[in-house]
Amino acid sequence: MSYTVRSLGVFKKQIEKLDKNSRKLIQEKIRLLKENPYRYKKIHSKIHSRVFRIRFNLQGKEMRLIYVVIEPNVVLVCLLNRKKDYKGLENHLKRLKPK
């Protein structure tokens, strides 16, 4: 089953700021995500039950791509810097309507 990938405005703005190589890396991760969104690590959220993260390095920084699976869609929420420890994650997830 192939999933439809959607993204929030926050994610789109973050992607625009990245260089070409970083965007290419993220596009490859998204391609894998379309095939099986459950392959990456699940993280805890108070708002949504199926929140996952993809771990990678961008320009020497530990980054996480956060996404939510709302069948048959996968919603790309944001890119988080690992040093900020997910503090703003719940604020980003509030923009999605819970089901």
The number of domains in the chain is 1
- Residue 99, domain member (yes or no): no
- Residue 98, domain member (yes or no): no
pLDDT at 81: 85
pTM for the model:
0.88
Which domain does 18 fall in, by range? Answer: 4-93
Between 96 and 66, residue with greater pLDDT: 66
**Number of Cβ atoms within 10 Å of the Cβ of 94:** 12
- Residue 88, domain member (yes or no): yes
Residues 93, 45 contacting (CB under 8 angstroms): yes
Which of 7-21, 35-49, 81-95 is predicted least confidently? 81-95
**Contacts by 61-66, CB closer than 8 A, 24 or more apart:** 65/26, 65/29, 66/92
pLDDT at 85: 64
- Residue 22, domain member (yes or no): yes
Distance of CA 52 to the CA centre of its chain: 7
CATH code where residue 73 lies: 3.30.2310.20
Between 94 and 22, residue with greater pLDDT: 22
